[in-house]
Structure 1
């Protein structure tokens, strides 16, 4: 597969080979971005495209811990699940990810998410290694990129100044 630039003005998305790289800077401290991505209450507010609701069924953020959430949308739902392989708060997460469907669609993808402090915010690098270029092509062709861009917009809204009170920013809890 050739390199494909699939992002928008706010979010870089590049697909190449069997890898998908997503990069975005959020206007929030690293600890707050980490909390939004590793706490069930916060994750449910942004994961998935516009118009979806998310139920976080399981979220055990530790090496060997499992996770599962269900995105519900008009007319259906899709569940995703995986296992945390590495957890280094608030710097790095490595986890497996796959749709929860029968029959199983093969080996899971592996996501490595890093959180880098930058002037005025946090840069998130989200690298997903799919089992093969064909699996990545299938995911991209099924509309995955639209969902990624929309969920990152939802996350940016959740993290926007004024969305979390100053006291909440100090203990990374929502108001």
Structure 2
């Protein structure tokens, strides 16, 4: 088991082809769930700092799809500046405000999967204790190598950065 502890309270554990990321937020579960399930909120914090997310389509329901584009808007990010990164979530199950199950896919602007990038199955669970909500994402990659590639690409650091943005949003909408 590899345990990657990073700043900003993110805890990530990789084992085999499974990556578990946990993070707590000083907000009620319903509010945190809303930030993950409503397009207007999701676009404000999804992606690392310096990136802006725009939705092409968003249907938060079983069988629904969120197709989006993240664009680097920070000129201090060098070669990443103005780069686009397209993604798609295929929603399978949601229990408001407890759980979201989805498939996460790297795609192009037309929504076609990118061949050399993994398709990941994920389950996100929201638990609250005394006004603090813990979000636990369990992601299964197609192989140990695919998980390792994602780790090398900075998936944990990216999630940590976007969760900092979520913290900021939660204080505004709370």
Q: If the length of structure 1 is used for normalisation, what is the TM-score?
A: 0.86
Structure 1 residue 8, shift from structure 2 partner: 2.5
- In the comparison of the two structures, how many residue pairs are matched? 162
2:101 maps to which residue?
A: 94
CA distance in 1, matches of 2:156, 2:23: 14
CA distance in 1, matches of 2:145, 2:160: 21
1:43 maps to which residue?
A: 42
Structure 1 residue 85, shift from structure 2 partner: 0.9
Segments of structure 2 that go 5 or more residues without pairing to the other structure are 73-80
Following TM superposition, where does structure 1 have runs of at least 4 consecutive aligned residues deviating by more than 2 angstroms? 6-9, 101-107
Q: RMSD value over aligned CA atoms?
A: 1.6
- 1:77 maps onto 2:84 in alignment: yes
CA contact (8 A) 1:3 1:17 kept: no
Structure 1 residue 155, shift from structure 2 partner: 0.6
CA contact (8 A) 1:43 1:56 kept: no
Q: What is the correspondence of 1:113-128 to structure 2 with a 5 Å cutoff?
A: 113-128=124-139
CA distance in 1, matches of 2:44, 2:118: 28
